[in-house]
Amino acid sequence: MSFFTYRKGVLHAEGVPLPAIADAVGTPAYVYSTAALTGHFGAVVDAFGEARPLICYSVKANSNLSILRLFAGLGGGFDIVSGGELARVRQAGGEAAKTVFAGVGKTPEEMAAALDAGLLLFNVESAEELEALDAVGRRLGKKAPFALRVNPEVDARTHRYIATGLKTSKFGVPFEEAVALYERSKKMRGLKAAGLDCHIGSQLTQSSPVRAALTKVAGLYRELKARKHPLEYLDVGGGLGITYTDETPPSVAEYARVVLAATKDTGARLVLEPGRSLVGNAGVLLTRVLYRKLTPAKRFAIVDAGMNDLLRPALYEAHHGFVPLVKRRGKEVEVDVVGPVCESTDVLAKARSLVLPQPGELYAFLSAGAYGMSMASNYNSRPRPAEVLVAEEAWRVVRERERTEDLWRGERA
């Protein structure tokens, strides 16, 4: 998180002291660093060099319009999983022609809207979906460009909730059924075979599963080309992990070497779908301490952010660093940091060594840029947080904190 640093004991995002943002917009609030976002994107461009892959940022990781606009401005495309994400991409000025569409449950309406917009690639995840896409293509008098998402059946060695490449996973079509499906598609007039796709999971911290999966998938790509399928794109998915605590994921350079080595000689244009590695360490969640509860069994710090604002700890037992915005000396004790939500799983940081937090004090949850705000909900009727984007010494609100009235928008009493 090198764009978030202490200066004279005060945590800054680039040149902006974070307490100033917390005081101005309130807490909880997500804060993102433009330099981090741009730097992470640029590192992928540099690592892949002359291969010049299409970098389709995975919108689900953080779908704020200003982040989408930033990546579009850097030449990025997008990886979407719903009609809503397509609408966001277009609203932010992104190009449908650089957008790929994954997901096991695309509706015919979503397919039609994407085809109409001129989508680059539908990543199709089942035989029945392929037939539905063909029907949409024929109805609109177009050939829908598709890639089959194949399941390479490798263990990504990540948390079981975010592994997608296992035989038992709902994602992708079984590897051994792919050739027959491409052959069948030759007779479907609403389709055009344009690529091949895979994605084995998220928060990958080892390169060997990536190598194993892509070696298999590149072999299949060559076979399909030999069978005269007019493929152009090899979409290798996303998943590169980041450091939350002590993980040591492959560097982008190492990841690029593995991808390029496994896919060389395919002649394909590579498509990448990075999410977390672009935004995860570009964001923090600011929170304020409300109370302490010191029981004979435990010390709790109760903060104003809850699992509705940052779901990852409750859902995946994920670890996010928790640090004070203003450093204070003192003896460290073990503290559980919990939110106000009425659920026992609303524990945001467990058994941390901290100088006992004081009511009113400000803290940040680190590495919260990916799957933070995008997974936030209104559970317990809590308005979702504000989002702020910093650039050098300047900052601006890129999403207002929800107001109380927003909580019942569309409802009838």
From the annotation, which residues make up the binding site for pyridoxal 5'-phosphate?
239, 273-276, 371
Q: Which residue, among 387, 246, 32, has the nearest Cα to 41 in the 3D structure?
A: 32
Q: Which of 239, 283, 321, 369 binds ligand LLP (CB under 6 A)?
A: 239
CA distances 297 to 3, 61, 294, 303, 357, Å, are 37, 37, 8, 19, 17
82 touches ligand LLP (CB under 6 A): no
CB of 139 to ligand LLP, least distance (A): 26
Rounded to whole angstroms, the Cα distance separating 196 from 411 reads 43
Residue 135: how many other CB atoms lie within 10 Å: 17
Q: How many CA atoms lie within 13 A of 292 on its CB side?
A: 16
DSSP codes, 21-84: HHHHH-SSEEEEEHHHHHHHHHHHHHHHGGG--EEEEEGGG---HHHHHHHHHTT-EEEESSHH
309 touches ligand LLP (CB under 6 A): no
162 touches ligand LLP (CB under 6 A): yes
The region that residue 193 occupies, defined by phi over 0 for left and psi between -120 and 50 for alpha, beta otherwise, is beta
Q: Which is nearer to ligand LLP, 33 or 58 (CB)?
A: 58
125 touches ligand LLP (CB under 6 A): no
Q: Which is nearer to ligand LLP, 115 or 210 (CB)?
A: 210
By beta-carbon distance, which residue lies closest to ligand LLP? 275
210 phi and psi, to 5 degrees? -65, -45
Q: Which of 85, 125, 129, 273 binds ligand LLP (CB under 6 A)?
A: 273
Q: What are the beta bridge partners of residue 349?
A: 337
Q: Which of 276, 288, 320, 382 binds ligand LLP (CB under 6 A)?
A: 276
Q: Which is nearer to ligand LLP, 137 or 274 (CB)?
A: 274
CA distances 252 to 61, 246, 322, Å, are 18, 17, 26
CB of 317 to ligand LLP, least distance (A): 11
202 touches ligand LLP (CB under 6 A): yes
Give the x-and-dash track for 218-237 against ligand LLP (CB under 6 A). -------------------x
Q: How many CA atoms lie within 13 A of 405 on its CB side?
A: 0
State which of positions 40-79 bind ligand LLP (CB under 6 A).
Answer: 58, 61, 79
Identify which range of 13-21, 221-229, 273-281, 357-365 contacts ligand LLP by CB under 6 A: 273-281
80 phi and psi, to 5 degrees? -120, 160
**Count of positions on this chain that bind ligand LLP (CB under 6 A):** 21
Q: Which residue, among 45, 41, 78, has the nearest Cα to 256 in the 3D structure?
A: 45
Max Cα distance, the chain (Å): 72
Annotated binding-site ranges: 239, 273-276, 312, 316, 343, 371
Q: Which of 274, 283, 324, 339 binds ligand LLP (CB under 6 A)?
A: 274
275 touches ligand LLP (CB under 6 A): yes
Q: Which is nearer to ligand LLP, 237 or 383 (CB)?
A: 237
User: Tokens at residue 233, please?
Assistant: 């794109």
199 touches ligand LLP (CB under 6 A): yes
Q: What are the beta bridge partners of residue 387?
A: 30, 399
User: Tokens at residue 156, please?
Assistant: 């990504």
CB of 355 to ligand LLP, least distance (A): 29
Instruction: Judge whether 56 counts as a catalytic residue.
Output: no
CB of 240 to ligand LLP, least distance (A): 6
Query: Which one from 226, 297, 342, 413 is the annotated catalytic residue?
Result: 342
Q: Which of 30, 221, 371, 395 binds ligand LLP (CB under 6 A)?
A: 371
Site of interaction with ligand LLP (CB under 6 A): 58, 61, 79, 102, 162, 199, 202-203, 237-240, 273-277, 312, 316, 370-371
Residues designated catalytic = 342
